[in-house]
Amino acid sequence: MPGILLGIAFLGLLAWRSLAGGASPGAESSVSAPSIGALEQPLASSPVVLPTGAPARDAAPEARQIKAQLVIAKARHSLGQSYERAAAHGDFALAPGRILNSLLDRRCGLVQRHAEEIALERESLGLQSSDGAGLCREILFSLLKERLALPEDMPQARFWDMLEQVDAAYTQLFLADPGAASDEAFRAAYERLREDRSGIVGADLDRRLFRLADEVLHLPFQVEDLLRDKTTSTEQKIAAYDAALQRIEREQGVQLASVVEPLDLAKHALRLHETAGPLGPEQRQAVMERYAAPDVARRYLEHQQEQQDRSERLRAFNQERDQLLEQLARAGLTPEQRRQRMTEIDSQLFKKYHLQ
């Protein structure tokens, strides 16, 4: 954000100098610099007034260009933040084109509102599209080209086409195969997708574009492998889990808690701790608080306890209900008579087990 503000201040200073430079030396103090707020208004409502005696030159195109630059700078900042969050989600490793298209749908409002003004300056800004959607897509591609160090000669159409091919491979491997819903099938399909994906975009770009999303998506697999490992102690499992988190943060240059829900990290750790046996409430709270905020951990554990208590009450409800129905059958009641008694029995048991 400080970089954006400094850029805005610099562009505003340029605008003031360009306008003041067109005035006569004696009238310089009568020309005021256009404010950022004024630049955000429609140009027709903010005419540039030159002092009497100033050279007759039209300053509107220059002000329009500065406004377009400000809009693009703000859009790049917003798109960049959204991309960082999206690229850290496991879903991005599966269907990147869909994720980025969804991002564009949600983050292009500013560009859409100023599309006509930006389009008038598109040649000087290095853009080609004339509509808001196309301009926003170009801005995002320009951003990704810098961050991913894409080849200078890579066409924008080629980049989006590669992502569409990855999406198509995902659809074929996952959505078209109902059997991919199981854990083992999912992992097999995912490894196949990674091979296809690397073949589509190239190994180098695949690593730079998807490495963080792959790590996040693979983390639950690592946890499941540790849970099934009967030869490793609980302490070793926890150490291996923490080492995996530290490695991802070190290699990817991120804090995992900023891209992965801390509660998810805490739940993984809790499952690993419980391989040594059930934990008490205070122990569970302490484990969770290593990865998530205390209030978040407390609410999760309280909800989990409520769900467990309800499941136990429901199990007791069903057990007593079956026993009562068996007693009625032994007493000689017909199936129809037992059905008539069901409403009364259920009402009493709902109250007894607090299931209402």
Q: What is the pLDDT of residues 10-37, one digit of tens each?
A: 444 444 444 344 443 333 333 333 333 3
Instruction: Find the length of the chain.
Output: 356
26 or 118: which leads in pLDDT: 118
319 in any annotated domain: yes
Rounded Cα–Cα distance for residues 327 and 308 (Å): 29
104 in any annotated domain: no
Where on the phi/psi map is residue 244: left (φ > 0), alpha (ψ -120 to 50), or beta? alpha
Rounded Cα–Cα distance for residues 109 and 75 (Å): 9
Rounded Cα–Cα distance for residues 136 and 107 (Å): 9
Q: Where residue 199 falls among pLDDT bands split at 50, 70, 90?
A: very high
Per-residue model confidence as pLDDT tens digits over 312-327: 999 999 999 999 999 9
Close Cβ partners of 341 (under 8 Å, ≥ 6 residues apart): 328, 333
Close Cβ partners of 291 (under 8 Å, ≥ 6 residues apart): 257, 262, 263, 265, 266, 269
At residue 257, the pLDDT reads 86
Q: Where residue 61 falls among pLDDT bands split at 50, 70, 90?
A: confident
Average pLDDT for the chain: 82
End-to-end CA distance of the chain: 52
Per-residue model confidence as pLDDT tens digits over 244-288: 999 999 998 888 888 888 999 999 999 999 999 999 999 999 999
166 in any annotated domain: no
| Lowest pLDDT segment from 46-50, 79-83, 113-117 | 46-50
Where on the phi/psi map is residue 151: left (φ > 0), alpha (ψ -120 to 50), or beta? beta
With pLDDT > 70 as the criterion, what percentage of the chain qualifies?
Answer: 82
Please give the residue range of the domain that contains residue 340: 301-352
345 in any annotated domain: yes
- How far from 299 is each of 271, 288, 303, 313, CA to CA, in Å? 17, 11, 6, 21
Signed CA dihedral, 3, 252, 172, 174: sign only: negative
pTM score of the predicted model = 0.69
At residue 37, the pLDDT reads 38
| Lowest pLDDT segment from 34-48, 61-75, 84-98, 118-132 | 34-48
With pLDDT > 90 as the criterion, what percentage of the chain qualifies?
Answer: 53
At residue 56, the pLDDT reads 38
332 in any annotated domain: yes
pLDDT reading at 229 higher than 60: yes
At residue 74, the pLDDT reads 92
51 in any annotated domain: no
Overall domain count for the chain? 1
Per-residue model confidence as pLDDT tens digits over 336-353: 988 989 889 999 999 998
At residue 78, the pLDDT reads 93
pLDDT reading at 48 higher than 80: no
At residue 171, the pLDDT reads 93
- DSSP secondary structure string for all residues of 81-117: HHHHHHHTSGGGGT-HHHHHHHHHHHH-HHHHHTHHH
At residue 176, the pLDDT reads 75
346 in any annotated domain: yes
32 in any annotated domain: no
At residue 91, the pLDDT reads 93
At residue 126, the pLDDT reads 82
Q: Where residue 180 falls among pLDDT bands split at 50, 70, 90?
A: low
Q: How many CA atoms lie within 13 A of 29 on its CB side?
A: 1
Rounded Cα–Cα distance for residues 341 and 307 (Å): 29
| Lowest pLDDT segment from 41-45, 244-248, 290-294 | 41-45
Six token digits for residue 239: 């150490």
Per-residue model confidence as pLDDT tens digits over 160-175: 999 999 999 999 998 8
At residue 178, the pLDDT reads 66
